[in-house]
Amino acid sequence: MKTQTIVASFIAWWMLANVAYSQGMCIPSALKVRLLQGRVLWKNDLRPMAGMDVELLSFDQSMTRLTRAKTDGSGAFSIARVEPGKYWLRVKNTQIPGLTVEIHLEGKATPRGAKQDYIQFLLSLDPQKYCWGSSVSIVREDHGSPK
């Protein structure tokens, strides 16, 4: 009986977290970027997360994987040669829950000398927060702070 109660509590918590995720409460509804590049960090101490899977998915119900990359030792990733448009970008690993964000890839070139924005995923495992406390934002290269 006690095991059933624990399982039911976990399922209820998991459903609430997924409802929050689907309503965009834990991540922005869409990020506009010129390049698919960024970093994946552990939120608690900003430690780089190497070996994370970063997947570019089609922007439809099938969410078909179009390409993928792995983060390097500094947590950095880059996906090149992608046509402008709407996509899903997902960061995942077998050890922690993934995080998916809607991406609007713009076709405009970055002006020469301009600072480049990048995507920053901050991953966490706090079961008392929506999306386990994880978030994603756009960071300007020169300041390192979210826009």
For all residues of the chain together, what is the average pLDDT? 79
**Is residue 145 included in any domain, yes or no?**
no
Residue 147 within any structural domain of the chain: no
Length of the chain: 147
Is residue 48 in a domain? yes
Residue 146 lies in a domain: no
CATH number at residue 134: 2.60.40.180
The stretch 26-40 carries a mean pLDDT of 83
Query: Would the pTM count as exceeding 0.85?
Result: no
Give the span between the Cα atoms of 6 and 19, in whole angstroms.
Answer: 20
User: Which residues fall within 8 angstroms of residue 103, CB to CB, at 6 or more apart?
Assistant: 30, 31, 33, 36, 56, 86, 87, 88, 89, 119
Q: Is 4 a residue whose pLDDT tops 70?
A: no
User: In total, how many domains does the chain have?
Assistant: 1
Does residue 102 surpass a pLDDT of 90?
yes
pLDDT at 97 over 80: no
d(CA 44, CA 6): 27
Band of the pLDDT at 13, cuts 50, 70, 90? very low
pLDDT classification of 116: cutoffs 50, 70, 90: confident
